[in-house]
A and B are shown apart, each in its own frame.
Chain A
Amino acid sequence: MSTGTPPLPNPPAKPQVKSLHCPQCGTAITLRSFQQAVTVVCESCHCILDAKDPTLKILQQFQAIIGELPPMIPLGTRGKLRGTDYEVIGFQRRSIESEGVRYDWHEYLLFNPYKGFRYLSEYQGHWNDITVCKDLPIVRSGFVPNANYLGETYRHFQTAQAETGYVIGEFPWQVRVGERATVTDYVRPPRVLSCEQSAGETTWSVGEYRYPQEIWKAFNLKGQPPEPVGVFENQPAPATVSVKQAWLAFLLLTVFLLGLMAFNDMVASKDPVFNGSYRLASGPAKGEASFVTDVFELKGRSSNVEVKTNANVFNSWIYLNYALINQDTGQAWDFGREVSYYSGYDSDGHWTEGSHKDTVIVPSVPPGHYYLRIEPEADARHPEITYTVSVRRGVPVLKFYGYALLALFLPVLYVTFKSISFERARWAESDHPILQTESD
């Protein structure tokens, strides 16, 4: 994408720089931002020098801690951000302290002679591309304060005291190690709005989350970037997770499912094709208990057959070995059904268990002439049991709709759970943690 600005002078091996020497140690000092630099840091003796002073007056000298991490993007590196070439000219480590723990982040100052300055911040592998705000945001107080910038509302995330711990390179302001500022962050992923207040000066900046690979590619850095740790304040939720859309889609599909159920219920034939009443005499069976019903006809295309049993069992059971047999082909469907019903009283009061009814669906039965072979069984001491058997052709199966609803709901539940976990992780480090537990 063209920005209409000419690229930085090429080749990069010979940048337009001004060469000076550190008054403390004599090391050559390179100024990359021409007259824009206000302070410059000697990389050798860590003197902060006045870049506006022809003699490079020493403003501060600091001791770099042992093990201070060097910038991941070395000073002088050039890269392309949003179609514009930038050069890294400054680097600083800043930190906040919370409950005795120091949290460090790094800021890279980038410069383009035509576009000016912008910043990159890095915290535990999370990157932000930051620019100074074009307009003054409007802050609204409340239970959770927010800030409005260019018509978008940002939610307050955290306010903390930040301290500069290490600097290197050059800066367009009076940088000092040990400098403190109150930093307030408002978030609207993938953007973050930051207000920095120090010594009567307030600076607003807006940042956009960048994935490490984008930074590595933009600056043509070698190796792999460090993997981001945890969830950052303005890190966008994974692209596949959109809870609102998922629920809307779920509602839409549920409406379709209900429509399908109503339609199938309307068009289902539900033809009663057989009905019989039988009696199982009390006591042990005398002779062969099994019998066959009259032949009935199943018409139309292959579809299911419902066999419903209704028995007057009371604190007893009846078990029926069924076989639905095609008289013409000898094809049969074997199934056993139990009807049992128990009731009584105990310390909890009246209870019941079981039912007088049972329904079973025989799948995909072709048309033809059929009969049922029924073999009833019951307890040896059972009283007389009367039962009815009714057969219907082409009935809707409600269980399918239940399973379908579950199949539609589970992905939405998963996405919702993932989103809640993500947001919980995001806000856990804020001044407004959500779903906070004692262990937090």
Chain B
Amino acid sequence: MFSPLYLLYGFMVLSFVGMAEYRGWSTDTMNEVRNIPRSIRDNPGAYRSIYSSYHHYTGGK
């Protein structure tokens, strides 16, 4: 029968959502970096993000 299998699948989906919310997951992408030097606090320019070469949209119609 379709329903019990689908219900099982559905509750797995709901469990996944519940876990995602509890663990604080996100759908946004970002780069995790470890061991950032403490000197950034005094000299922010000493660190460059990998996103700084992003191509900016200058859009409009």
Contacts and interface: CB of A to CB of B under 8 A. Distances in A.
B27 A331 contact: no
A335 interface: yes
Given A323-B49, A338-B56, A397-B20, A362 B26 contact: yes
A400 B27 CA distance: 8
A362 B36 contact: no
Interface size grouping (class) on chain A = 35 or more
Given A333-B31, A334-B31, A400 B17 contact: yes
A338 B50 CA distance: 15
A165 to B, nearest CB: 42
Contact of A248 (B3, B40, B54, B59): B3
Given A245-B3, A323-B49, A353-B61, A317 B35 contact: no
Given A330-B38, A332-B34, 17 more contacts: A240-B2, A250-B10, A290-B45, A303-B24, A325-B40, A334-B31, A334-B49, A336-B54, A361-B27, A362-B28, A365-B24, A373-B44, A397-B21, A397-B25, A411-B6, A411-B9, A412-B6
Given A239-B1, A260-B18, A336 B10 contact: no
A113 to B, nearest CB: 40
Contact of A363 (B24, B40, B51, B56): B24
Nearest to A265: B21
Interface stretch (A17-25, A46-54, A131-139, A401-409): A401-409
Interface residues of B, number: 50
A331 B37 CA distance: 10
A401 B17 contact: yes
16 contacts: A245-B1, A249-B7, A250-B6, A323-B33, A335-B31, A336-B54, A340-B59, A364-B25, A373-B44, A397-B21, A397-B25, A399-B27, A400-B21, A404-B13, A404-B17, A408-B13
A407 B10 CA distance: 8
B49 A249 contact: no
The list of the 5 closest CB pairs from A to B, nearest first, reads A336-B51, A303-B24, A363-B26, A304-B24, A342-B60
B49 A344 contact: no
Contacts of B34: 330-332
B26 A397 contact: yes
A379 B52 contact: no
A322 interface: yes
B2 to A, nearest CB: 5
Contacts of B61: 342, 344, 346, 351, 353
